A and B are shown apart, each in its own frame.
Chain A
C-alpha cells in the first residue's frame, strides 16, 4: 500500500451536506443521506431497482440509507445497505437509481457520495473508516482509482483509514 501523511481521526464533520452533478448542465445539487426504515418502504418502487431493497430494509442486521437532493427529498438517487461488523462496516449493496445508470445517467457522483457516507459511518462508530465490500472484476481498477480502495483478494476490496478520510473530506463540508 502507498504510504502518505496520515491525518488525525478526530476531525469534526459539522455539516452533512454533499452534492451530485447534473451530467448535461454541470449544475451541482446539494444532497442528503437519510436512513430508510419500514415506514419508507413505499418510496421504493420494486421495478425501478435491480436489488430487493425492501428485504434489506427489513433485515435488522443491516442499515439502508438513501441519497436524495435537498430540494427534492422524495426522489431517491441511490441506495446503500450496510452492516456493522463491530470492527468495520460491510457494504452489502449499493445501487444508483435507474435514471442514474448507463451512459445517459442524469447525475454523477451518486455512488461515491454513498460510499463516502459509509466511510463516515465507520469513522463515527470508531472503526477508523474501514469499509469492506466486493467488486466486479471489471470495476476493481475503477474503485482503486476513484474510491482509493485497496484490493484484498479475488473480488474482495476494502477502504482503509486514509482513503476513507480522503473520501469524507471530498464529500462533506467541515
Chain B
C-alpha cells in the first residue's frame, strides 16, 4: 500500500464548474472508446520458435 503525498506547498483543491453539453459529449465519446478497449480480451501473439540447424 502506498500514499500519495501532495507537495507541502501545494493544496489539492477542486472546485469544478459544470461541463458544457459539447464537452460532455466529447468526453463520453473518448470514455466509451477507452471502456470498449478495456473490455476487449488481450490477444496473445503466438509465434513458433524456429529450430536452428546445427
Contact = CB atoms under 8 A, between A and B. Distances in A.
A17 to B, nearest CB: 9
Contacts of B1: 18-19, 169-173
Contacts of B38: 6, 9, 128, 161
B3 A103 contact: no
Contacts of A103: 8-9
B16 A133 contact: yes
Interface string B8-21: 11111111110100
Contact of A133 (B3, B11, B14): B14
Interface string A151-172: 0110110101100000101111
Contacts of B12: 94, 96, 111-112, 115, 139, 142-143
Contacts of B5: 21, 108-109, 112
Interface of B: 1-17, 19, 23, 26-28, 30-31, 34-35, 38, 42
Nearest to A23: B8
Contact of A152 (B11, B16, B17, B27): B27
Nearest to A80: B14
B25 to A, nearest CB: 12
